[in-house]
Amino acid sequence: MPTSLWQPNTARQLGMSPYTIFPTEASVTSGLGSSFTSDNVPETSSQSSAFIRLPRFGHSTFNAGAGSVSKIIDMIPRFDNAGNETGALYFQKPERVYVDLNNTDPINVTDVTVDIVRRDETLVKDLTGSTEVLFHIRQKPRM
């Protein structure tokens, strides 16, 4: 029976591909377990896009995926500017998106809470490395 049918196979996510059973020389036994060294960089990829949500500002947007009012301000695709879908991804939008914060008075910003969520607005829990979001804030143009 092939190994992948009777046990979980996370070899690709851990960078251990093409192995499913590790050769004994690949492991170093220590007192409480074993240590393995990967030959490859882990292949991580998201199955769906993510979204940037600012939960504590006065703005209001519409989440078309969920059909509800939201605090989402933008989307993060599952690929980067070079078309890569795995590994460390770098994505920079070619244009800026501005959302009216609906403030009548100046806002003093000392702390910003940023959530990275899925379409159903549940928090994304499978991010690895660091995620950096840059905000460009401007005054509302006079009409």
Residue whose tokens read 């003093």: 108
Please tell me the total number of residues recorded for the chain in this structure: 143
Q: What is the pLDDT of residue 9?
A: 59
Q: Tell me the longest C-alpha to C-alpha distance in the chain.
A: 71
User: With bands split at pLDDT 50, 70 and 90, how would you rate the model's confidence at 1?
Assistant: very low
Higher pLDDT, 71 or 129: 71
Residues 12-23, mean pLDDT to the nearest whole number? 61
Q: What is the pLDDT of residue 3?
A: 47
Tokens of 128: 């690895």
pTM more than 0.85 = no
- Report how far residue 99's alpha carbon sits from residue 140's, in angstroms, rounded to the nearest whole number: 9
E strand spans, the chain:
27-30, 33-36, 50-53, 61-63, 68-70, 72-76, 115-117
Q: Is the predicted pLDDT of residue 40 greater than 50, yes or no? A: yes
Q: What is the mean pLDDT of the chain?
A: 77
Q: What is the pLDDT of residue 108?
A: 86
Residues 1-26, mean pLDDT to the nearest whole number? 57
